[in-house]
Amino acid sequence: MSAHHDVKRYPGLRPLSVLFFLYLYLPLVVVVVYSFNDNKITGVWTQFSLKWYGSALNNTALMNALKTSLLVAAIATMFATTVALLAALAIMRGKNVRFRKLSETVVNLPLLLPEIVLAVATLILFSLLGVQNGLLKLAIAHSAFCTPFAFLPIRARLQGMSMDYEEAAADLYATRWTTFRRVTLPLILPGLFSGAMLAFLISMDDFITSNMLSSGGTTTLPVYIFSLIRSGTSPELNAIASLLILASLVLATVALLVAARGGRENS
């Protein structure tokens, strides 16, 4: 590549990149720093303290909301990843699948529609069916809108994977189930794991649908945090946000390590 087309030499790119990353990450740094502030007034630094982390971890309502979010996210991840895997296998490996593009569009439809529309439609559906259990409503709704997020990485992994391995297994008289279990599944495992982690994070982060469907005893963490913000900001919110940032970084690191390991095994 010539120096004329080197993107690093584009005028103004470096300061623009610095401004972009400052805009993106500086608020997160401020939140983390002030989570260690002893002062109850947010934004006024006095001295270093961990008391807001202790306050957050000893908050019963917060812990109940976290447990609800984790339970709903775990259920939604399991069902969404299973449906996404089956859909990806049918669309990418099915030889006689009719309306392939239409089927893929249907699976990805929750990505194309505004979430408020899906939330209202889900609320009306549950009202017509008479479903009263708040946890059941949240689990079903989260499973539905998390499916396309799990589907995309799995589909991409299958699309980039050569069928030579599966055909070789068939030539060795392996059954379809054996081929899937011993060949296909290990090869698409990084995509499967990435899809599951993405579905889990989307479920944990959801507010609109959870706010409409949650009831007494089934308040999720984003809904609880929003209720705290309405009554005024508190350093406890900074501690909660910092813990969520840490959890997200851990999950992202694990996903990158699994993807890198899968890439080395396939190279």
End-to-end CA distance of the chain: 26
Q: Give residue 40's pLDDT band: very low, low, confident or very high (50, 70, 90).
A: confident
Say whether pLDDT at 52 is over 90: no
pTM of the model: 0.82
pLDDT surpasses 90 at 158: no
Confidence of residue 151 (pLDDT cuts 50, 70, 90): very high
- The Cα–Cα gap between 160 and 194 comes to 15
Return the pLDDT at 1: 47
pLDDT at 85: 93
Q: What is the DSSP string of 182-247?
A: IIIHHHHHHHHHHHHHHHHHHHHH--HHHHHH--TT---HHHHHHHHHHT---HHHHHHHHHHHHH
Say yes or no to pLDDT of 7 above 70.
no
What number is the average pLDDT over the span 136-149? 92
Under the banding of pLDDT at 50, 70 and 90, the label for residue 101 is: confident
Could you tell me which CATH number the domain at 51-266 has? 1.10.3720.10
Q: Rounded CA gap, 7 and 90, in Å?
A: 41
Question: What is the average pLDDT score of the chain?
Answer: 84
- Tens of pLDDT, residue by residue over 192-235, are 988 998 899 899 889 999 998 887 778 898 898 888 887 766 77
| pLDDT (mean) for 242-257 | 82
Which string of DSSP letters, residue by residue, matches 137-159?
HHHHHHHHHHHHHHHHHHHHHHH
Q: Out of 67-81, 93-107, 243-257, give the one with best mean pLDDT.
A: 67-81
Q: Where are the alpha helices (DSSP H) in 94-133?
A: 100-107, 109-112, 115-129
How many helices (H) does the chain have, and how many strands (E)? 13, 0
Residue 189's alpha-carbon distances to 99, 184, 193, in angstroms, are 27, 8, 6
